[in-house]
């Protein structure tokens, strides 16, 4: 298992486009992003198989370009045979890295048919049991705690369970307060959790979208950021310029404080992520 002393990992996250045009556009975005040499690209997956074919299309295309790819795999709403089918598909594509998640049931699917795995730790245990060390397994971490957790201690205990099931590393939900991350890492240290916990970084480019996501996933937008972004109204370039400075400062503090890398939620856009990458002078992985 890795430790925090390993080389830092810088990676990019994509989501599978809904249309053929979106896919064509994504190819151009990936070419731009790949030019700076990230360690890998990850691609999200809709729980219950809701993006299965589109995730396959994106992942297969990335693999065909010779790009190291980490598909996300969300287990809720799927039975073991379905999950196994997906894993076998990825093995056929030569994949060695998976982001293992519970996921959230798409609205309208209700709680019936939750599937064979209720929580991410069960998916990690299944991958280790049936596929040994084939995969480098990333799991999700929540420095501001998962919104459904009854309390911080229970969430940390659940995180520990995922780690003990065999995760190699974790990627965090995005956050804007570096103290939340450092406190979380310290709590993990106290619990003997020593795997690399890579901060998830959300570039700020669109306030309405950011506010919606943050409400849904429990990420806090500090008041001074929210107020400034609100004040810019429709002024997209002012939002981008302020957002760039805020997130750049966050990344600097995280790296200076010893974060083992950064995972950028690119939102399938290159510019904002590349501006951060270049200003931070991040190293190419190859
Ligand atoms: P878990 O670790 O299973 O935790 C979920 C909740 O259950 C937590 O509140 C936890 O405290 C609690 N819990 C865990 N184990 C137990 C237990 N044994 N008993 C009681 N409570 C327990 N979603 C998608 O649908 N597709 C994606 O591609 C995707 N990618 C993501 C990538 C990253 C880096 C992150 C941070 C999140 C991503 N998500 C994705 C969102 C994620 O699926 C949701 O946050 C989901 O609600 C939790 O998933 P998890 O894997 O963290 O779940």
Looking at ligand 1, which residue's alpha carbon is closest to its atom 44?
Answer: 103
Question: Rounded to 5 degrees, what are φ and ψ at 101?
Answer: -135, 160
CA of 139, closest atom in ligand 1: 51
| 72 CA from centroid of ligand 1 (Å) | 12
In a domain, 169, yes or no: yes
In a domain, 154, yes or no: yes
In a domain, 123, yes or no: yes
User: Measuring CA to CA, which residue among 252, 246, 217, 213 is closest to residue 229?
Assistant: 246
| 281 CA from centroid of ligand 1 (Å) | 32
In a domain, 286, yes or no: no
Tokens, residue 240: 């981008």
Q: What is the mean pLDDT of residues 16-27?
A: 98
In a domain, 47, yes or no: yes
Q: Which residues pair with 170 in a beta bridge?
A: 139, 197
57-98 pLDDT tens trace: 999 999 999 999 999 999 999 999 999 999 999 999 999 999
The predicted structure's pLDDT at residue 93: 98
For 1, counting Cβ atoms within 10 Å of its Cβ (0-12 exposed, 13-18 middle, 19+ buried), the class is exposed
Tokens, residue 65: 């370009």
180-223 pLDDT tens trace: 999 999 999 999 999 999 999 999 999 999 999 999 999 999 99
Q: Given ligand 1 and candidates 52, 102, 171, which is best to mutate, with the most ligand atoms within 8 Å of its CB?
A: 102
Q: Given ligand 1 and candidates 139, 140, 200, which is best to mutate, with the most ligand atoms within 8 Å of its CB?
A: 140
- Does residue 45 have a pLDDT over 50? yes
Range of the domain at 108: 5-280
The predicted structure's pLDDT at residue 250: 98
Contacts of 51-59 with C-beta under 8 Å, sequence gap 24+, read 51/15, 51/16, 52/86, 54/16, 54/17, 54/18, 55/16, 56/89, 57/16, 57/23, 58/14, 58/16, 58/17, 58/23, 58/26, 59/90, 59/93, 59/95
Q: What is the mean pLDDT of residues 14-39?
A: 98
Q: Is 13 a catalytic residue?
A: yes
**CATH of residue 84:** 3.20.20.220
Q: Give ligand 1 pocket residues (Cβ under 6 A).
A: 44-47, 72, 74, 99, 101-104, 119-121, 140, 146, 148-149, 154-155, 158, 162, 171, 173, 200
In a domain, 184, yes or no: yes
In a domain, 222, yes or no: yes
| 232 CA from centroid of ligand 1 (Å) | 33
Query: For residues 34 and 66, what is the distance between their CA atoms, to the nearest angstrom?
Result: 11
Q: By the 8 A CB rule, do 137 and 167 touch?
A: yes
In a domain, 285, yes or no: no
The predicted structure's pLDDT at residue 108: 61
Query: For residues 228 and 79, what is the distance between their CA atoms, to the nearest angstrom?
Result: 46
User: How many domains, in total, are found in the chain?
Assistant: 1
The three-state secondary structure class of 228 is helix
| 269 CA from centroid of ligand 1 (Å) | 25
Confidence of residue 111 (pLDDT cuts 50, 70, 90): low
Query: For residues 153 and 66, what is the distance between their CA atoms, to the nearest angstrom?
Result: 41
Q: What is the mean pLDDT of residues 18-42?
A: 98
Looking at ligand 1, which residue's alpha carbon is closest to its atom 42?
Answer: 103
Q: What is the mean pLDDT of residues 154-174?
A: 98
| 85 CA from centroid of ligand 1 (Å) | 21
Looking at ligand 1, which residue's alpha carbon is closest to its atom 24?
Answer: 103
């Amino acid at each position: 298992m890795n430790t925090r002393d390993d080389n830092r990992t810088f990676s990019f996250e994509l989501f599978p486009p809904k249309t053929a045009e979106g896919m064509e556009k994504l190819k151009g975005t990936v070419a731009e992003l790949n030019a700076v040499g990230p360690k890998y690209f990850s691609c999200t997956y809709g729980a219950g198989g809701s993006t299965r074919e589109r995730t396959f299309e994106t992942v297969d295309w990335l693999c065909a370009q010779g790009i190291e790819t980490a598909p996300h795999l969300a287990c809720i709403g799927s039975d073991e045979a379905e999950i196994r089918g997906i894993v076998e598909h990825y093995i056929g594509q030569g994949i060695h890295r998976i982001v293992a998640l519970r996921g959230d049931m798409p609205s309208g699917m209700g709680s019936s048919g939750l599937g064979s795995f209720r929580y991410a730790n069960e998916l990690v245990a299944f991958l280790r049991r049936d596929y040994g060390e084939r995969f480098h397994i990333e799991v999700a971490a929540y420095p501001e705690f998962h919104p459904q957790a009854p309390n911080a201690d229970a969430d940390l205990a659940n995180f520990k369970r995922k780690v003990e099931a065999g995760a190699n590393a974790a990627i965090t939900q995005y956050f804007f307060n570096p103290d939340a991350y450092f406190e979380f890492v310290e709590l993990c240290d106290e619990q003997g959790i020593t795997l690399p916990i890579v901060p998830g970084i959300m570039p700020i480019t669109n306030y309405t979208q950011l506010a919606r996501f943050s409400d849904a996933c429990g990420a806090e937008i500090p008041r001074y950021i929210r107020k400034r972004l609100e004040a810019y109204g429709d002024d997209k370039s002012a939002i981008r310029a302020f957002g760039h400075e805020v997130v750049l400062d966050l990344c600097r503090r995280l790296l200076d404080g010893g974060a083992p890398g950064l995972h950028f939620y690119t939102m399938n856009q290159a510019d904002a992520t590349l501006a951060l990458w270049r200003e931070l002078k991040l190293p190419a992985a190859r």
